[in-house]
């Protein structure tokens, strides 16, 4: 387990750096643009390449490739596995070039046709500029998956840092030149393109150091046939999940100029703990689950999945409670600058609470999906995702009529809850050792500890408010004191409750903090 925690810590530490830089990037964007039309149009346009990244990059294709690559690595060693990787990369490159070219032409025509309102035309224009980013990021995701399977995690996990640095640099340059909003947004798009190129170059270089040599491979093999048989149903499932995001943002874009921006900001704050721990655990445990399945080690698969789930839930519950209780001081401290004013803070606050409640469900669904993919079950996630798409779409259209953007966030969380329950049930049918009854004890301890932690943070917040500090100082004191106090209360309670994975969880935290020093 020590090596597992070491790899999780490496991924987590890299993700921490990326998420913190991403947070700084978002702070600068919102300070410069606020919750304006320009910001909403950029976010909507950036959704398109990220959608295809999930489909053809780190999502469906990677999930389909990992079990097959793992089997080949087990049988033929690195040479055979790298040969298979080249076959996949060549086909992906040809598909991406065609899609990007056609997409840019179609979006450019629509933007200039005069058929759209100014708001929608702006989104289409920015999408034309940003669409080529998906070419870099999809190839990078596949190469990074290959790195993970040969035991290399650090470089692949740190590549998002390069994107954030490029975007921050472009944004800082535009602000230094005192550019107006229109020019600033295009500078930001240029930073995205530069970051995408760097994200591809870094893992490619590291994989070359491991013995990979890029080659043009077009031969058809049995491994490729197996890949496509796994990829096509996985593509449908991933497409459904990404359509959920796109539907929410398109519906938000119809509400007003700021709805997309505040919805995005709330989800980004939720993604901070989700990305640091949940994705890190999933990234490290996914190859382990795939290898256990390849070796026919059913007990090993179940043990790894239960361990990973406990770690994921053990982190996501207190993080979600923290967002609910401390959302306002977090927003005031980090984002209430420049064009992002107090009214924007108050508009975003309920969204943060909603997503905080949903964080454990998103985390559980993410990890359970990886478990099914490692089992080469691509159909169950598709069926479940299809149902969740219907739930999200219907609930979104209904609830937005009453609660606006808050209704859209609530619909997202309801869909995530249904998805987490159904994915777990589907996996439990294949592996009886991971039935829900084996998680009841751990879950009850986590929930009690999380609620008591939330109560401690709430009481602490009331004490700090009694001192009547100025707004920024109040926010700084609240976040600076209550976050570590809340964490200490939570871990002490887990120790008292004898939480099953306490040693592993604290060991993971110590490794991350030790590496950070």
Confidence of residue 467 (pLDDT cuts 50, 70, 90): confident
If you average pLDDT over residues 80-85, what whole number do you get? Answer: 84
If you average pLDDT over residues 422-431, what whole number do you get? Answer: 86
Q: What is the pLDDT of residue 8?
A: 61
Helix (H, G, I), strand (E, B) or coil at 404: coil
* Mean of all residue pLDDT scores within the chain: 84
If you average pLDDT over residues 336-349, what whole number do you get? Answer: 90
Q: What is the pLDDT of residue 206?
A: 87
Residue 517 reports pLDDT greater than 50: no
Confidence of residue 88 (pLDDT cuts 50, 70, 90): confident
Give residue-wise pLDDT tens across range 162-217: 999 999 999 888 888 876 777 889 999 999 999 999 999 999 998 898 888 888 87
Give residue-wise pLDDT tens across range 234-247: 666 666 667 777 88
If you average pLDDT over residues 467-477, what whole number do you get? Answer: 88
Residue 513 reports pLDDT greater than 70: no
Q: Which of 22, 139, 149 is nearest to 92 (CA)?
A: 139
Give residue-wise pLDDT tens across range 91-112: 889 989 999 999 999 999 988 8
Q: What percentage of the chain exceeds 70 in pLDDT?
A: 90
Q: Which two tokens stand for residue 208?
A: 């070359």
Q: 344 or 71: which carries more pLDDT confidence?
A: 344
Q: Where are the beta strands (DSSP E) in 240-343?
A: none
Distance between CA atoms of residues 193 and 228, nearest Å: 29
Between 93-107, 108-122, 270-284, the lowest mean confidence (pLDDT) is in: 270-284
Q: Which of 22, 106, 63, 490 is nearest to 234 (CA)?
A: 63
For tokens 């959704």, the residue is 47
If you average pLDDT over residues 337-365, what whole number do you get? Answer: 91
Domain ranges, ordered by start, for the chain: 2-516
Residue 512 reports pLDDT greater than 70: no
pTM of the model: 0.78
Distance between CA atoms of residues 76 and 436, nearest Å: 37
Q: What is the pLDDT of residue 515?
A: 47
Q: Which two tokens stand for residue 10?
A: 């490496």
Q: What is the pLDDT of residue 87?
A: 87
Quick check: 385 and 376 in contact, CB under 8 A?
no
Q: Which of 37, 23, 31, 5 is nearest to 513 (CA)?
A: 5
Q: 516 or 348: which carries more pLDDT confidence?
A: 348
Confidence of residue 117 (pLDDT cuts 50, 70, 90): confident
Residue 51 reports pLDDT greater than 90: no
Q: What percentage of the chain exceeds 90 in pLDDT?
A: 37
Confidence of residue 225 (pLDDT cuts 50, 70, 90): confident
Residue 422 reports pLDDT greater than 90: yes
If you average pLDDT over residues 456-482, what whole number do you get? Answer: 92
Q: Which two tokens stand for residue 395?
A: 């609930």
Q: What is the pLDDT of residue 163?
A: 92
Give residue-wise pLDDT tens across range 125-166: 999 999 999 999 989 988 888 887 777 777 777 888 899 999
Q: Output the 3-class SS for 109-137.
A: HHHHCCCCCHHHHHHHHHHHHHCCHHHHH
CA dihedral 289, 294, 299, 300 (to 10 degrees): -50
């Amino acid at each position: 387990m020590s090596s597992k925690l070491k790899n999780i810590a490496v991924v987590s530490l890299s993700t921490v750096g990326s998420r913190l830089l991403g947070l700084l990037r978002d702070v600068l964007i919102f300070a410069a643009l606020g919750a304006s039309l320009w910001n909403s149009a950029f976010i909507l346009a950036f959704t398109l390449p990220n959608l295809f990244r999930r489909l053809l990059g780190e999502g469906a294709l990677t999930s389909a490739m990992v079990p097959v690559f793992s089997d080949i690595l087990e049988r033929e060693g690195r040479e055979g596995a790298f040969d298979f990787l080249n076959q996949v990369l060549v086909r992906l490159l040809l598909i991406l070039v065609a899609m990007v070219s056609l997409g840019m032409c179609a979006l450019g025509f629509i933007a200039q046709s005069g058929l759209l309102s100014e708001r929608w035309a702006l989104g289409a224009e920015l999408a034309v500029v940003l669409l080529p980013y998906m070419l870099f990021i999809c190839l990078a995701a596949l190469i990074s998956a290959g790195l993970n399977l040969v035991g290399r995690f650090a470089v692949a996990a740190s590549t998002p840092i390069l994107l954030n640095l490029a975007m921050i640099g472009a944004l800082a340059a535009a602000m230094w030149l005192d550019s107006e909003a229109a020019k600033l947004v295009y500078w930001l798009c240029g930073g995205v393109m530069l970051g995408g190129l760097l994200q591809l170059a870094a893992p490619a270089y590291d994989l070359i150091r491991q013995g990979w040599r890029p080659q043009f491979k077009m031969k058809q093999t049995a491994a490729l046939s197996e890949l496509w048989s796994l990829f096509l149903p996985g593509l449908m499932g991933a497409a459904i999940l990404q359509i959920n995001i796109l539907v929410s943002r398109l519906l938000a874009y119809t509400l007003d100029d700021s709805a997309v921006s505040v919805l995005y900001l709330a989800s980004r704050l939720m993604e901070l703990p989700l990305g640091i721990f949940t994705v890190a655990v999933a990234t490290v445990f996914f190859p382990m689950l795939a290898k256990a399945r390849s070796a026919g080690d059913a007990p090993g698969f179940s043990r790894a999945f239960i361990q990973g789930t406990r770690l994921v839930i053990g982190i996501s519950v207190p993080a979600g409670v923290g967002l609910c209780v401390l959302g306002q001081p977090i927003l005031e401290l980090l984002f209430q600058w420049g064009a992002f004013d107090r009214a924007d803070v108050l508009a975003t606050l309920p969204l943060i609470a909603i997503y905080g409640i949903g964080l454990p469900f998103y985390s559980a669904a993410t990890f359970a999906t990886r478990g099914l993919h490692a089992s080469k079950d691509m159909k169950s996630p598709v069926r479940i995702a299809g149902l969740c798409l219907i739930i999200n779409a219907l609930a979104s259209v209904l609830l937005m009529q009453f609660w606006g953007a808050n209704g859209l966030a609530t619909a997202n969380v309801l869909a995530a809850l249904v998805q987490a329950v159904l994915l777990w049930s589907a996996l439990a049918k294949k592996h009886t050792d991971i039935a829900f009854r084996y998680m009841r004890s751990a879950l009850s301890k986590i929930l009690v500890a999380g609620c008591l932690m939330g109560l401690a943070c709430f009481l602490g917040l009331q004490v700090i408010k009694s001192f009547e500090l100025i707004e920024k100082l109040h926010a700084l004191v609240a976040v600076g004191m209550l976050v570590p106090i809340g964490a200490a209360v939570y871990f002490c309670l887990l120790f008292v409750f004898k939480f099953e994975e306490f040693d592993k969880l604290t060991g993971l935290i110590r490794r991350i903090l030790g590496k950070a020093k």
